Amino acid sequence: MSLASTASAKDQPSMLARLFARQELALLVCLILVLAFFSITVENFFSVRNMTNVLGQASLALTAGIGCAIVFISGEVDISIGSLLATIALPLIIIMNDTNSLLLGVGGALLFGLIIGVVNGYLVAYAGINSLIVTLGTMFIMRGGVYLYTGQRAIPDDASLDSFIALSDGRLFNIVPYSAVIAIALLVAFGYMMQHRPFGRQIYAVGGNQEVARLAGYDVRRVKFICFIISALLATVAGIILAARVGSAQHTAGLNFEFQVVAATVLGGVSLAGGIGSLTGMALGVLILQFLSNGLRGLGLPTEWQLVITGMIIIAAVAFDEAKRRRANGG
C-alpha cells in the first residue's frame, strides 16, 4: 500500500505540464496565438465584423463536427457527412418550393437525414461492417444519387422564404449570425450530454473499451447506432444552413467537407481510436483552422498554400499529442 501511494505522489507532473495536459487549454492558447498573429499582420482582422463572419463560416463545421466527434469518441468514423449535406438539400428545397413551408422542408430534410443515419448505424452497429467502409459507401452512393437526380444542375430555392434566407444572412441583435447561434446552442447541449448525461458517458465507455462497456451492462450496438443517427441529423442541420447560404440545392455542395471536419476534429484532440477527446476540443480545432484560413487569405496567400499549411498543422498537432501521451505513460 505504501509503495503504491508513494508512486502516485512521485508521478505528479509539474504545474505547467498539468496545465498542458488539458488538451483544451493547449488548443485555446493556439487559438489565441493565431488570433494575435493575424490581428497584428492583417488589417481589419480583429474586427467585430470579421470575427462574426468567420464564426458564421465556421458554423457548418462546428455543427457537423459535433456528430463527427461523437462518432469518433464511440470508436467509429463517419465520412458520409459531406455527401449528406448535398443530399438533404434536395428534399429541403423541393418541399419548400412545393409547399412554401420552411417547417415541412426542414422536416423532410431531417427525416431524410434520419434515414441515412439509421442505414449507417444499422450497417455498422448491427451488421458489424467497418464504419469507414460503410460511410465511404454511403458517401459515394449519396453523391452519385445527387448527380443523377439533379443532372448536375443546381435546383434554385424558388420559394425564397424570409425565414429560410434569415438562416444565411440573419444576425441575432444584428451581430451574431443565426447559423453561429444554432451551432453554439447545439455545442452546449451536446457538450452537456457528453459530460453529464449517462448516455454521453456510455459513448465514452464504449469507445474507451467496448468489452468493458458490455460487461458493465451497456448495449454497445445501440450506443453506436444512436451515435450515427446523431451524426447524420447534425450534418442535416449543417446542410440546411448551407442550402440557405447558397440559395439552392447543388450537386457539389459539401464536397470534401467531411475531411475538413475530420481534420478539425483530430486537431481538436479527439482520438480516432475512441474514448478520448471533447466537443470543446473539436470546436477549438474548427475555430483554429477557420481563423487560420481567414487570416492567410487576408495576408494574400492563395488557397493552395492554405491546404498545405493545414495539412502540416494537423500532422504536427497529432505528433505533439502522441509525444505528450508517450511521456505521460513514461515510455
Partner 1 sequence: MSVDFLHPGEGAAIDTNVPALEMRGIGKRFPGVVALDNVDFTLEPGKIHALMGENGAGKSTLIKIMAGVYGKDAGTIRMRGREVDIKSPRDSLKEGIKVVFQEIALISEFTVAENIFLEGYPTGRTGSIDWKKIRADSAALFNRIGFNVDPAARTGSLPVSQQQMVEIARALAHEARVVVMDEPTSSLTPNEVSLLFTVIRRLAALGIAVVYVSHKLDEVFEIADTVTVLRDGRHISTRPIGEHTNDTLIQDMIGRRIDNLFPRQRGAAGSKVALSVEKLSTAKKLIDVSFEARAGEVLGFFGLMGAGRTELAKAIVGYDPIISGTIAVDGQRLAPHDTRTGVRLGIGLLTEDRKSEGLMGELPVYQNASLASLGAFARLGFVDKAKEHQAVQDYVDRFRIKTPSLFQQIKNLSGGNQQKVLISRWLMRGLKVIVVDEPTRGIDVGAKSEIFALIDRLAGEGLAVVMMTSEMPELLGLADRIAVMCEGRLTAIMSREDATQEKILNAAIG
Among 128, 151, 217, 302, binds partner 1 (CB under 8 A): 217
Q: Is 216 in the site for partner 1 (CB under 8 A)?
A: yes
- 19 grid coordinates: 496545465
**Cα–Cα dist 114/108, whole Å:** 10
Among 11, 174, 256, 300, binds partner 1 (CB under 8 A): 11
**Half-sphere exposure (CA, 13 Å, Cβ side) for 67?**
30
Site string for partner 1, 236-275 (x = CB under 8 A): ---------------------------------------x
**Are the C-beta atoms of 64 and 235 separated by less than 8 Å?**
yes
Those residues with Cβ within 8 angstroms of residue 307's Cβ, 6 or more apart along the chain or in another chain: none
Q: Is 1 in the site for partner 1 (CB under 8 A)?
A: yes
Touching partner 1, residues 93-122 (CB under 8 A):
none
Touching partner 1, residues 312-331 (CB under 8 A):
328, 330-331
- Using CB under 8 A, which of the segments 206-214, 227-235, 293-301, 304-312 binds partner 1? 206-214
Among 93, 267, 276, 313, binds partner 1 (CB under 8 A): 276
Q: Is 218 in the site for partner 1 (CB under 8 A)?
A: yes
- Using CB under 8 A, which of the segments 90-98, 161-169, 200-208, 290-298 binds partner 1? 200-208
Q: Is 213 in the site for partner 1 (CB under 8 A)?
A: yes
Closest CA to 289 of 320, 322, 312: 312
The 3-state secondary structure of 177-208 reads: EHHHHHHHHHHHHHHHHHHHCHHHHHHHHHHH
Which residue type does 116 have?
I
Beta bridge partners of 156: 248
Closest CA to 285 of 307, 268, 271: 268
Site string for partner 1, 166-195 (x = CB under 8 A): --------------------------x---
**Cα–Cα dist 257/147, whole Å:** 17
Chain residues binding partner 1 by CB under 8 A are 1, 3-5, 7-8, 11, 192, 196-198, 201, 204-205, 208-209, 211-219, 275-276, 328, 330-331
